[in-house]
Amino acid sequence: MTTFRVGVIGAGSIAQSHLTAYAENADVELIAVADMNLERAQQVADQHGARRAYADPHELLADPEIDGVSICTWNDSHAAWAIAAVQAGKHVLVEKPIARTLAEAEELQRVVEGSDRVVQVGFVRRHSPNCQVLKSFVDAGELGEIYYAKASCLRRVGNPGGWFADKEISGGGPLLDIGIHVLDLCWYLMGSPKVVSVSGNTYDKLGSRGNVTTMPRYKAADYDPSRNSVEDLANAVIRFENGASLLLDCSYSLHATKDSIDVSVFGEKGGAELEPALRIATEMHDSVVNIDPQIASRTFEFGVGFAHEIQNFVDAAQGRAESVAPAWHGVEIVRILEAIYESAARGEEVLLG
């Protein structure tokens, strides 16, 4: 089996998950890490056994020993670095969102369609065993036609600050950071239907809530509680060409009694909750029945998810499998997200297609 030689652009927190999965994969050789902070790039490269470090990602992309790259930078450079990587002849795993805007995403898609490189978007939760088990039930028709889904990810105090809270860099707040995950899971399980309309709302009532110091939260390296230009809540009703609909809400900060996540799909023959734990509901012999699949974990596990994502990327790049999250899926999710923001700004439903 040919070794897949990898470089990683970006050396922040999400890069650590990619690098750990690469380092533990027997099919992979870690070649290089690039980061605008060369000292950090070298430290991370040494930590994970990569051969060298670069301050300029262009140097990494010019490295002939590298077959594929993970792009783990801020959102404002995802599309640009993915395009540069494809043009340099590399296979690409780019973190979500694939781009900040639909225009950026569609530019990347044109480049992808003109090449033979694999470009995969980092929808890591698709690769979780609980999701793949449920997808097998859906694909086998066990739930029948999926006509409704609910995607929710609500945090009480969860604005990470820093670049996450800077709209120019991130492109948006919880919708692009955490809402995208639950939206994508539902859309993926529904069979990736074409969106036809979106009605959305966004709210910026609570801000960063940096005054709350009694609850732990993830904070960006450049955290600054006074810096915040993103929404703290978004919700939407999304309608699809096949008549199905999806209800979404997500928040960094909400006066709720607890943090929560809910990913559910409902079909003619059965329904299922994927998160907070996989459970399936159906009807058998004129009785309502709940089914609890007996798998190692019925919820998302970070390390397992990234290990499976990296393996799928490697296998797809080497022609052994299809990518579970091809680039065009990332484009369509950005199309929905941008429509939510547009609908919220206009105060009316947005028609697509």
Domain 126-300+332-351 has what CATH class? alpha beta
User: Where along the chain do the CATH 3.40.50.720 domains lie?
Assistant: 4-125+308-326
- SS3 (DSSP) at 215: coil
Nearest alpha-carbon partner for 44 in 76, 7, 79, 88:
7
Which residues in the chain are classed under CATH 3.30.360.10? 126-300+332-351
CATH superfamily of 4-125+308-326: NAD(P)-binding Rossmann-like Domain (3.40.50.720)
Each residue's pLDDT tens digit, 92-134: 999 999 999 999 999 999 999 999 999 999 999 999 999 999 9
Q: How far apart are CA 173 and CA 231, in angstroms?
A: 5
- Per-residue pLDDT, 67: 98
Distance CA(66)–CA(77), nearest Å, equals 20
3-state secondary structure of 274: strand
Stretches in the chain below the pLDDT threshold 70: 1
State the pLDDT at residue 1.
61
pTM for the model: 0.96
